[in-house]
Amino acid sequence: MGDNDMILEFSLLIILLGSLVALFYSLFRSRWIFRQPVHDAKLQKIGKAISSGAMAFLSREYRVLVPFVLIAAAFLAVGNKGVLRYQALSFVLGASFSALAGFIGMKVATASNSRTTEAARTGINEALNIAFSGGSVMGMTVVGLALTGVFIILGVSLVLTDITVLYLRESILPILSGFSLGASSMALFARVGGGIFTKAADVGADLVGKVEAGIPEDDHRNPATIADNVGDNVGDVAGMGADLFESYVGSLVGAMILGAAVEGTASLQMKLVTFPLLIAAAGVLASLIGIKFVKVRKGQSPQVALNKGTFGAAILAALFVLIMSLLYFRGEIFPVSMSPIRIFLSALLGMAAGVSIGLITEYFTGVDTRPVNAIVKACETGPATTLITGMGMGMLSALPPVLIIVTAILAGDQLSGLYGIAIAALGMLMTLGVQLAVDAYGPIADNAGGLAEMAEFPRAVREITDELDAVGNTTAAIGKGFAIGSAALTSLILFTAFREQLGLKVIDLMDVKTLSGVLIGAVIPYLFSSMAMNAIGDAAFAMIEEVRRQFREKPGILDETEEPDYERCVDISTSAALKKMILPGLTAALTPVLVGFTGGVFMLSGLLIGVTVSGVVLAIFMSNAGGAWDNAKKMIESGAAGGKGSAAHKASVVGDTVGDPFKDTAGPSLNILIKLMAVVSLVIAPMLKSFWRL
Amino acid sequence: MGDNDMILEFSLLIILLGSLVALFYSLFRSRWIFRQPVHDAKLQKIGKAISSGAMAFLSREYRVLVPFVLIAAAFLAVGNKGVLRYQALSFVLGASFSALAGFIGMKVATASNSRTTEAARTGINEALNIAFSGGSVMGMTVVGLALTGVFIILGVSLVLTDITVLYLRESILPILSGFSLGASSMALFARVGGGIFTKAADVGADLVGKVEAGIPEDDHRNPATIADNVGDNVGDVAGMGADLFESYVGSLVGAMILGAAVEGTASLQMKLVTFPLLIAAAGVLASLIGIKFVKVRKGQSPQVALNKGTFGAAILAALFVLIMSLLYFRGEIFPVSMSPIRIFLSALLGMAAGVSIGLITEYFTGVDTRPVNAIVKACETGPATTLITGMGMGMLSALPPVLIIVTAILAGDQLSGLYGIAIAALGMLMTLGVQLAVDAYGPIADNAGGLAEMAEFPRAVREITDELDAVGNTTAAIGKGFAIGSAALTSLILFTAFREQLGLKVIDLMDVKTLSGVLIGAVIPYLFSSMAMNAIGDAAFAMIEEVRRQFREKPGILDETEEPDYERCVDISTSAALKKMILPGLTAALTPVLVGFTGGVFMLSGLLIGVTVSGVVLAIFMSNAGGAWDNAKKMIESGAAGGKGSAAHKASVVGDTVGDPFKDTAGPSLNILIKLMAVVSLVIAPMLKSFWRL
């Protein structure tokens, strides 16, 4: 291969294949899930309530967001010149595909949960099969839609014109970054909105139901219980899906842009630009094989099955990249300090970094580790020491991941320059299909347990779902590590792409404007987290009032002579989430625009760096502190430090309640925030260039 | 004046006068304090116990630090070449003067507290007079010793050689930065050590005494009560004194270095270098007059008196700077965009920024403000919502100060370039004498109240000391604003001076090493806070065990048939503080050395920026969240949300206990951390230059 068009056509063919494989898998697997039976009438009814609550939330959310999407698209159409106006279209495409992925994932997840409960009557393997299938549909849909979007944009471009590397760099890739922007915007709103919904419902259900009324978690007499389970879906499933959709697209587009920036022959450049597509397609195949590995043998823990799937896919993926890089780049002349093997090593570096961050996350947040044991011990002296110790551990836990990210940056740069860093980021997300399957499997199993409780299934069923729920932790922690690591690297890549677009040779840290930008940037994650936490506070307060009101006005709820009004609680969470997600979302999206057009490109550059470094550290701190409190509580509930009902248990509940918005709302939203601000800047770069006459 | 030596001699004469005025004031005022009577025997005995506990801690602390100071001095003597070896001496001088300031301040403060209690029997004016005099001795000693140190170094240099601006820039100012390093190192250890001491004692006294044994705060039956009161002195008085000593020296030295970097005639440069000295001397005079304003008239609140002192001094100081800049720079030719009026405006800008940050601090942490009321309301739904709301508010509170600091940077730069920023930072600290008097007055009044309680004085005495304690808040908040603002600006100035020393033209944010440095820098404040918080956790645990042991083994303590062992508790806090302050202190001091010699100067530059921005934001968040929880508790104790003993009160105590290490240990230490790392880098800059052959 040497002709540019041929290279592009070949890689387009490959991602078309990749996206078709992923989407067809999703289609057939979800049809299989829907065919599974739910015999129990009560289970059916409750399952339907959760499903329709979740879908109602999603469609209301999308309806709220439509005007924003259209306004932003109009801004892109008006602000841009020439062919770049198509950014508006690709932006809408990105937003729609993200919404679609969320919609499909949610539909399947809310169908899988009750079927998992039903299957748990038969056995753990049957239940695992359904829960994991639900997750795998989510994973493959996200990957498939992302690749489809990229295929459409590149394919249409190829049909309309002859594509040179220069044209790619100056027109097509900027348009593609519009797709990424659409995905990021939706992701931020989905994460924040879903996060507020789920935590408001959770806090309301726990504080009034468990603590005040003294009924168990997931008891059907609790008016907030349906809202709580809907929340798990809209927060953990739809929120996470949108989140990783945008990570995946962001790292793909970022790597393509940096590929076009490498000095070399036209054919080498074209191959470097398209290689990320090949990596993605190979990742689909590896994920699919990995998913097939997930089967429990008799007497084996489900954890072994999940590990086989995740690690199997990763090893295969690495092998694919090695082979592809040797074949694809054969005969190309590389600049010094770049080679096919070095590109392969960059991808491997990314995977290693992601796994390491994951293992460290597991160490700081897992059951029965030294840090979590310290928190359990601190619970014995009350909530204050619980919080101080948890925060101390959370802060400490930020150091190793940062050092790993720094190592990945420096080593990636040594291997293949900025392109190496980009490939490392992409390497982390290459097997997203199976990673997301494991991630989304958790909430499905959790929900299945809640359903077993609400539908008053026998204890044995709940035990199976509990076992399923418990095992995903390590693999999920590794997934989190990939999310954090790739967020940091991707936002740096997008930042680099932004600088390329503007043609800035140097961004001097001594410039007072740059410095001011860094300082402002550093405070934005705090502002954003504050908004998220205050929103949860307000929404939870409304929920608490409502649940108290129902118990007061319908005293028959507790002895089951009256029916609680579940819908009213779902409605409160929905309205609060939709109202409260707007301000943080707009702050994130508009700050770069404001700073870019008033403070200039150097202040904006500083802002991006400030947001990234401060956001990464704050996000790790919040996520890990929250995770550690969660598991400290679980350890105490399994008998540590006096067990359930002890003073230590009460202290651990306080820790967990504080940790919930940390780990499920503010923390993960920050990962999107830093990328969203970078991609907004990248997209407005051409406008800034003409505005400031650079 | 045109001759360089004459300019230097004149300004040396002025700071000599300034330092003598300050030191003589301290001498006479402290003799007056010691002459005041303490009639009550029990008060005398307890006062002595606190005083000797505090002095014992200080001398043990200094003894622990001597080896570190000597090793660092040896490193400076060996690592440097030529005349720069004298850095070792000036470093030791800086460390010794800081220790001396702490020693004198503590001696006087622990003499003032019991005398304040005694005087409160006569009336509020008498009590205020002693408490404030104690604070003013602290303030004036700090300022006087700082100026004396600078005078000695510059004076000796002038005697030994003829001083040109070049020689100043390349030799004398680097030696002077050794003085600043000595001050910073001591400050960090003093803050961390004092912070650990006071919080361990506080938590131990509260959790076991108040909560478990049910005896009131400051009850003499509590074994930890003396340790608690000793802690207030070593943390709030000695820690704060060392902290502000280093801020003052740092901003003075930083401004001198930047003055030498302005392009212009030799005489203009010399005047720019020496002008900060004139500002400092004028500040002494203004502070002294301000201190004289502090007198309570019949029927007036003590707050009015304190305000008159602080604001009177500030207005006078501004006036002095205006006159001096017009006279001193008469006939000099300035570069474009610089002028005497612009230099004056820079100082004014700094003052305005400091006051604004202070008022915002007051808004977010004061009694009965909107944010604190929100926390009070959240206390009603338990400790979890208390913590979530408090953290949300604390995070939000970081935004306005950061915007003010950014404004000060940008406006200072517009007014007189980097020199303008330096003068703005110095402007904030110009009237440090009176600011520190107000700051140190608070803990003295607080201690006096504790003494009244322990010595079982009549209720009326306690009411007077409570009133004194309550009023310093707004003025103290403004002092905090000055500390935060000046820390941010000073560390940027020191960073600039560092770059000047290395001769780096540009520090490119796109360089992966710079970026990696920023990322590592951003995590250091978290690491440091985590160490501080874990240290407090461990120390408090030991204290809790000890107090429980005493109550268990000496059951007669509660009915006063047995005497508690106060000394044992003082000893536990002392040992814990001295042991636990080493690791965070060394981390702060050694990280820049390690990064500079292994990662290079660009990574080190990035590190400094990362530490500064992340540290400033985290410090404001922690300080304000802690302050807000503190006042929320006080509001509830005065009757809000159900008052003392209610569930809301319990929640507020949890908030306050979490907030204590935030606002009294980790938060303020971060202000020193960012400057210490900058000044370490500045001091090792010549070594780095030859190591990396720049």
Mean pLDDT of chain A: 91
CA atoms within 13 A on the CB side of A79: 19
3-state secondary structure A561-607: CCCCCHHHHHHHHHHHHHHHCHHHHHHHHHHHHHHHHHCCHHHHHHH
d(C-alpha B293, C-alpha A506), whole Å: 53
pLDDT confidence of residue B134: 94
Contact in structure between B648 and B642 (CB atoms under 8 Å) = yes
> Is pLDDT at B530 greater than 80 in this prediction?
yes
Q: In the structure encoding, which two tokens stand for residue B693, read together?
A: 């052959």
Task: Note the pLDDT tens digit of each residue in A305-361.
Answer: 888 888 899 999 999 999 999 999 998 999 888 999 999 999 999 999 988 998 899
Tell me whether residues B527 and A396 touch, CB distance under 8 A. yes
Task: Note the pLDDT tens digit of each residue in A450-494.
Answer: 899 889 999 999 888 888 887 766 666 677 777 788 889 999 999
User: B167 falls in which pLDDT band (50, 70, 90)?
Assistant: confident
The residue written with tokens 């026998």 in the block is A458
Mean pLDDT of A154-160: 89
d(C-alpha A204, C-alpha A651), whole Å: 18
Mean pLDDT of A636-665: 90
CA atoms within 13 A on the CB side of B359: 6
Which amino acid, residue B52?
A: S
CB contacts, 8 Å: A398 with chain B: 523, 526-527
d(C-alpha B224, C-alpha B556), whole Å: 16
> Is pLDDT at A514 greater than 90 in this prediction?
yes
Q: Classify burial at B61, counting beta carbons within 10 Å of its beta carbon; exposed 0-12, middle 13-18, buried 19 or more.
A: buried
Q: Which of the 8 DSSP states describes residue B564? A: -
Contact in structure between B215 and B558 (CB atoms under 8 Å) = yes
In chain A, the residue whose alpha carbon lies closest to the alpha carbon of B612 is: A519
Select the residue of A396, A507, A523 nearest B508 (Cβ to Cβ): A507
Contact in structure between A154 and A176 (CB atoms under 8 Å) = yes
User: Is B472 in a helix, a strand, or coil?
Assistant: coil
d(C-alpha B239, C-alpha B234), whole Å: 6
Neighbours of A214 (CB within 10 A): 9
Give how far A536 is from chain B: nearest CA, Å: 9
pLDDT confidence of residue B607: 97
Q: Classify burial at A31, counting beta carbons within 10 Å of its beta carbon; exposed 0-12, middle 13-18, buried 19 or more.
A: exposed
Q: Which of the 8 DSSP states describes residue A92? A: H
Give how far B437 is from chain A: nearest CA, Å: 31
d(C-alpha A94, C-alpha A188), whole Å: 13
Which amino acid, residue A69?
A: V
What total number of domains does chain A contain?
Answer: 1
Task: Note the pLDDT tens digit of each residue in B8-35.
Answer: 899 999 999 999 999 999 999 999 999 9
CB contacts, 8 Å: A383 with chain B: 383, 654
Task: Note the pLDDT tens digit of each residue in B328-339.
Answer: 999 899 988 899
Which amino acid, residue B351?
A: M
Query: B465-504 burial string, b = 16+ CB within 10 Å, else e?
Result: bbbbbbbbbbbbbbbbbbbbbbbbbbbbbbbbbbbbbbeb
Q: Classify burial at B368, counting beta carbons within 10 Å of its beta carbon; exposed 0-12, middle 13-18, buried 19 or more.
A: exposed
| Crossing angle of the two packed helices B512-553 and B667-691, in degrees rounded to 10 | 140
- Rounded to 5°, the CA angle A464-A465-A469 comes to 120
What range defines the domain where residue B183 resides? Answer: 3-691
**pTM confidence score:** 0.94
d(C-alpha B361, C-alpha A225), whole Å: 41
Tell me whether residues A533 and B654 touch, CB distance under 8 A. no
d(C-alpha B635, C-alpha B630), whole Å: 9
Task: Note the pLDDT tens digit of each residue in B197-211.
Answer: 988 888 888 777 777
pLDDT confidence of residue B473: 63
Task: Note the pLDDT tens digit of each residue in A319-332.
Answer: 999 999 999 999 89
Residues 6+ apart with CB under 8 A from B206: B217, B653, B657
What backbone phi and psi angles, to 5 degrees, belong to A508?
-85, 120
CB contacts, 8 Å: A394 with chain B: 530
Contact in structure between A286 and A454 (CB atoms under 8 Å) = no
Q: What distance, in Å, lies between the first and last C-alpha atoms of chain B?
A: 38
pLDDT confidence of residue A643: 87
DSSP, residue by residue, A138-195? HHHHHHHHHHHHHHHHHHHHHHHS---HHHIIIIIHHHHHHHHHHHHHHHHHHHHHHH
User: B308 falls in which pLDDT band (50, 70, 90)?
Assistant: confident
pLDDT confidence of residue B476: 66
Tell me whether residues A388 and B523 touch, CB distance under 8 A. no
Give how far B276 is from chain A: nearest CA, Å: 22
Mean pLDDT of B378-390: 91
Percentage helix, strand, coil for chain B under 3-state DSSP, each rounded to 5: 85, 0, 15
Select the residue of A388, A488, A523 nearest B398 (Cβ to Cβ): A523
Tell me whether residues A657 and B492 touch, CB distance under 8 A. no
In chain B, the residue whose alpha carbon lies closest to the alpha carbon of A519 is: B613
Which amino acid, residue B265?
A: T
- Give the percent of chain B with pLDDT over 70: 99
The residue written with tokens 């000394």 in the block is B567
CB contacts, 8 Å: B654 with chain A: 382-384, 387, 654
Give how far B551 is from chain A: nearest CA, Å: 17
- The mean-pLDDT minimum among A116-125, A208-217, A431-440 falls in A208-217
pLDDT confidence of residue A475: 65
Mean pLDDT of B64-82: 93
How many contacts, defined by CB atoms under 8 Å, are there between A and B? Answer: 221
Residues 6+ apart with CB under 8 A from A444: A109, A112, A113, A116, A131, A134, A135, A237
> Is pLDDT at B1 greater than 70 in this prediction?
no
Contact in structure between B54 and B110 (CB atoms under 8 Å) = yes
Complex ipTM > 0.85? yes
- The mean-pLDDT minimum among A19-23, A24-28, B280-284, B455-459 falls in B455-459
Task: Note the pLDDT tens digit of each residue in B661-675.
Answer: 898 889 889 988 999
Q: Which of the 8 DSSP states describes residue A323? A: H
- The two counts, helices (H) then strands (E), for chain A are 22, 0
Task: Note the pLDDT tens digit of each residue in A221-252.
Answer: 888 888 988 998 888 888 888 888 999 999 99
Task: Note the pLDDT tens digit of each residue in A561-571.
Answer: 888 888 899 99
In chain B, the residue whose alpha carbon lies closest to the alpha carbon of A514 is: B509
d(C-alpha B479, C-alpha B468), whole Å: 17
User: A1 falls in which pLDDT band (50, 70, 90)?
Assistant: very low
Helix or strand holding residue B559 (H, E):
none
Mean pLDDT of B477-494: 83
Q: Classify burial at B293, counting beta carbons within 10 Å of its beta carbon; exposed 0-12, middle 13-18, buried 19 or more.
A: middle
User: Is A366 in a helix, a strand, or coil?
Assistant: coil
In chain A, the residue whose alpha carbon lies closest to the alpha carbon of B382 is: A654
- Rounded to 5°, the CA angle A356-A359-A360 comes to 85
Residue A18: alpha-carbon gap to chain centroid: 21
pLDDT confidence of residue A300: 78
Pick from A577, A597, A556: which is nearest to A669 by CA?
A577
- The two counts, helices (H) then strands (E), for chain B are 23, 0
Cα torsion angle, B130, B231, B665, B387, sign? negative
Cα torsion angle, A321, A323, A327, A331, sign? positive
Give how far B563 is from chain A: nearest CA, Å: 26
pLDDT confidence of residue A516: 96
Name the more confident of B515 and B446. Answer: B515
Q: What distance, in Å, lies between the first and last C-alpha atoms of chain A?
A: 38
Residues 6+ apart with CB under 8 A from B183: B94, B95, B97, B98, B146, B242, B245, B246, B249, B250
